[in-house]
A and B are shown apart, each in its own frame.
Chain A
């Protein structure tokens, strides 16, 4: 995945993160392109939500919105980590397995208290993230293969812990952990607030810190970034670690929500996360991306699923068709916008 390094706006590979700030050129159409790239998904989300609100009485209800928010929260946390990885030009296929493993470890650890239940999945999934990062950055292996191996390995670990998936660990009702997953604050589930806090933190890190600048620089042009003194290897190790940590945390929170370490979760979740990130305007080739876009991407996927259930009689296979079509439209638009910008 790192081979084809495209540079979004070319001139400023390293010294200016192409985050949510002003685009470099002043030409109006360039600004329009950037606007579509960054906010296109948001516009679609708003339109789809509005149409759904007018079409279905039960769409814009407190219950429905709160349900959608809670069930999106876990994928959103995974997508946050994925955003960092993809901006560096990498990919992390291990997150679905880490999500499931994190949930099982949290449920298993819950017998020793909430602290263990949260720290154990973070430690294990974070460690797998570190290994991913080391193999990608130091051994210069392709992220696709490294994280594919981690995906299989983590799933195997999960099966080993759960007696081939036959044993499901439960989280005691009324425990602090269950409260963390199932409780609500101001009408929204606790996982939603945790997710929002993580996204704010993620946006600040990406846009306002040196590490964030390095993430963009590495994805924009790795060689240039290295020449300018950015710690390429360290940055890569950090993003894969972050991705592992967030996948483990999302799994732990999800287990707390379900009150059990369900063993069959997370299949295909890595692809959902990648779809959400790409729909949110982050370039799969790296160098350009937005944390907020990924959140919008997750919500868009969730709203599509909800609308198809709202219709009620429609075969849910169509959800995948619609999600796939959205993704195709977004990548085609991105390619087109990118080419236009190049020609200018």
Chain B
């Protein structure tokens, strides 16, 4: 029956299904992430400065295997599971994962890795998979601070110690997890404010490109910046705040809107380098010259430090991503039965016009 009429329709079908396949294949590209590829900066993580711990404040709590309820073991023969939150497409994540891998290799520890590709539900099942696969210890770089109940319960049932790095899990230290290793993000915000005050002379209107929502990094970098500005330079006004999701293209988009709606803006505080580089691209596109609008960012990637050398960026506060040595050191100390601090705060450097040229080798 009506074959002739059906043939053309059939021909239409492969086109349609191919479209669906293409859409599904690009699904990854749609996911929000800090993923503006800047793979030209393939600096080996090991080459940069190792993380140093800020002297623990007096009264800061510690955690031991006995208090946590786990068992002592020898890190050498153990299996460590590492769950990365975002694609290794941005320099921070590349350096972070590489540092974990390098340290595991150096210590001869078996390492299992998983990457959640910025999908939180994937990160939950990733960690469960790592547990099922027999990880004795976990290092987690959380995508989101809340929503970890299923993982924490599963880890507790197996008495697997967890160390979280760079972002925090909202749970009880030394009960749900052992330690949290990260920078002092509030302090990063304060130091960024100092640089902004210096660059702008402490007067005028500034904008903030916020990081992704739902994690402590964004809130704390914002808090520190605003506090310090209010305290030291009341004439500097934050007139614009919008999220750039820690991504370069989003930072660019938001900056394009910003210079339309607030042409008198004097400075932009980007809560990571990628958004800051996006802002630079937007300013270039709008015909601005280097230094017209002062940009201060946080992270310390090579491209951003190069931005200082080129005059587009005024200052970069470092956020050291080389967590490997410290994370494994913490696990080693802990599994030997000794006490480790619950909050391990690392020391970060800073880049400005004074040292950008000489210290670019430390950037990642």
Q: Which residues of A are at the interface with B, using a C-beta cutoff of 8 A?
A: 1, 4-7, 10-11, 56, 58, 61, 63-64, 67-68, 70-71, 74, 159, 162, 164-166, 168, 170, 178, 182, 254, 257-260, 262-265, 267-268, 271-272, 274-275, 278, 284-285, 302, 305-306, 309-310, 312-313, 315-317, 320, 323-324, 327-328, 331-332, 334-335, 338-339, 342
A73 nearest CB across to chain B (Å)? 11
Which B residues lie within 8 Å of A313 (CB)? 112-113
A166 & B21 in contact (Cβ 8 Å cutoff): no
Point out the residues of chain A lying under 8 angstroms from B125, CB to CB. 67-68, 71, 302, 305-306
Chain B interface residues toward A at CB < 8 A:
1-3, 6-7, 9-10, 12-14, 16-18, 20-21, 23-25, 27-28, 30-32, 87, 112-122, 124-126, 128-134, 143-150, 153-154, 212-214, 218-219, 243
Smallest CB–CB gap between B249 and chain A, Å? Answer: 15
Given contacts A271-B27, A320-B25, contact A309 B13 (CB under 8 A): no
Judge whether B10 and A342 touch: CB under 8 Å. yes
Please, which residues of chain B bring their CB within 8 A of the CB of A1? 16
Q: Which of A257, A312, A334 has most chain B Cβ within 10 Å?
A: A312
Nearest Cβ distance between residue B356 and chain A, in whole angstroms?
33
Bound-state Cα–Cα, A113 to B263, Å: 49
- CB closest residue in chain B, given A189: B150
Known: A70-B150, A257-B150. 11 other contacts (CB 8 A): A67-B132, A258-B124, A263-B213, A268-B30, A285-B16, A306-B129, A309-B112, A309-B126, A316-B116, A320-B117, A331-B17
Q: Are B27 and A320 in contact (CB under 8 A)?
A: yes
Which of B31, B147, B148 lies in contact with A267, CB distance below 8 A?
A: B31
Evaluate contact between A315 and B21: CB separation under 8 angstroms.
no
User: A324: which of B21, B134, B218 is its contact (CB, 8 Å)?
Assistant: B21
10 closest Cβ pairs, A-B complex: A165-B213, A309-B129, A258-B147, A331-B17, A312-B112, A64-B132, A262-B147, A259-B149, A324-B25, A260-B146
Min CB gap B87→A, angstroms: 7
Interface centre among A254, A306, A331 (most CB of B within 10 A): A331
Cβ-neighbour of A268 out of B13, B119, B132, B147 (below 8 A)? B119
> Do B6 and A312 touch across chains, with their CB atoms under 8 A apart?
no
Structural contact, A164 and B243, CB atoms closer than 8 A? yes
Partner of B129, one of A5, A159, A285, A310: A310
Is B129 touching A284 in the complex (CB atoms < 8 A)?
Answer: no
Q: Which residues of the other chain, A, contact B212 by a CB distance below 8 angstroms?
A: 165, 264
Is the Cβ of A339 less than 8 Å from the Cβ of B24?
Answer: no
Tell which of B14, B21, B120 has the most Cβ of chain A within 10 Å: B21
Q: Which A residues are CB-close (under 8 A) to B31?
A: 267-268
Cβ of B214 and Cβ of A262 under 8 Å apart? yes
CB-CB under 8 A from B24, the residues of chain A are: 271-272, 274-275, 323-324, 327
11 A-B pairs, CB-CB below 8 angstroms? A4-B9, A63-B154, A166-B214, A166-B218, A260-B149, A262-B144, A267-B32, A305-B122, A312-B114, A320-B27, A339-B10
Kindly state the separation between the CA atoms of A16 and B79 in the bound complex, as whole angstroms. 56
**Assembled-state Cα–Cα distance A267/B31 (Å):** 6
Q: Is the CB of B120 within 8 A of A285?
A: no
Contact with B219, one of A4, A166, A265, A342 (Cβ below 8 angstroms) = A166
Contact residues in A for B3 (Cβ distance below 8 Å): 342
Partner pick for B32 among A5, A264, A309, A332, CB 8 A cutoff: A264
Q: A165–B21 contact, CB under 8 A?
A: no
Q: Which chain B positions have C-beta within 8 A of A324?
A: 21, 24-25
Of B9, B23, B122, B214, the contact of A6 (CB 8 Å cutoff): B9
The residue that B149 contacts in the complex, of A58, A63, A258, with Cβ under 8 A, is A258
Q: Which chain B positions have C-beta within 8 A of A254?
A: 121
Residues in B neighbouring A68, C-beta threshold 8 A:
125
Cβ-closest chain B residue relative to A266 = B121
Whether the Cβ atoms of B119 and A61 lie closer than 8 Å is no
B115 near A315: Cβ-Cβ < 8 Å: yes
Instruction: Decide: B150 and A258 in contact? CB cutoff 8 A.
Output: yes
Q: Which residue of B lies closest to A91 (CB)?
A: B20
Q: Is the CB of B13 within 8 A of A6?
A: yes
Across the two chains, which residue of chain A brings its CB closest to B18?
A: A331
Task: Let me know if A257 and B32 touch, CB within 8 A.
Answer: no
Q: Is A165's CB under 8 angstroms from B149's CB?
A: no
Tell me, rounded to whole Å, the shortest Cβ–Cβ distance linking A4 to chain B: 4
A335 touches B134 (CB 8 A): no
Contact call A335/B13, Cβ cutoff below 8 A: yes
Name the B residues within 8 Å of A302 (CB-CB). Answer: 125
A4 touches B27 (CB 8 A): no
Q: Which residues of A contact B218 (CB under 8 A)?
A: 166
Pick the most buried of B20, B28, B126: most chain A CB atoms within 10 A of its CB. Answer: B20
Cβ contacts under 8 Å, B243 to chain A: 164-165
How far is B143's CA from A259's CA once the two chains are assembled, in angstroms? 16
CA distance A258 to B130 in the complex (A): 18
- Output the least CB separation between A120 and chain B (Å): 19
Bound together, the chains give a CA A68 to CA B121 distance in angstroms of 12
Q: What is the CA–CA distance of A328 and B143 in the complex, to the nearest angstrom?
A: 30
A260 and B7 CA atoms in complex are apart in Å by 52
Contact present for A164 and B213 (CB under 8 Å): yes
Q: Which residues of A contact B133 (CB under 8 A)?
A: 56, 58, 309-310, 312
With contacts A10-B1, A71-B125, A268-B30 known, is A182 near B153, CB below 8 A?
A: yes
Identify B12's interface contact among A4, A58, A320, CB under 8 A.
A4
* Chain A contacts for B28, CB-based, 8 A: 268, 317, 320
Q: Give the Cβ gap from B109 to chain A, nearest Cβ, in Å.
A: 13
B116: A residues at CB distance < 8 A = 316
Closest approach, in angstroms, between the C-beta of B8 and any C-beta of chain A? 10
Q: How far is the CB of A153 from chain B (nearest CB, A)?
A: 17
- Does the CB pair B129–A64 fall under 8 Å? yes
Q: How far is the CB of B110 from chain A (nearest CB, A)?
A: 9
Find out whether the CB atom of B115 lies under 8 angstroms from the CB atom of A317: yes
Are B17 and A257 within 8 A (Cβ)? no
Inside 8 A of A63's CB, which chain B residues have their CB?
A: 131-132, 154
Q: In the complex, what residue of chain B is closest to A328 when comparing beta carbons?
A: B21
Q: How far is the CA of A63 from the CA of B135 in the complex (A)?
A: 13
Interface centre among B16, B121, B130 (most CB of A within 10 A): B121
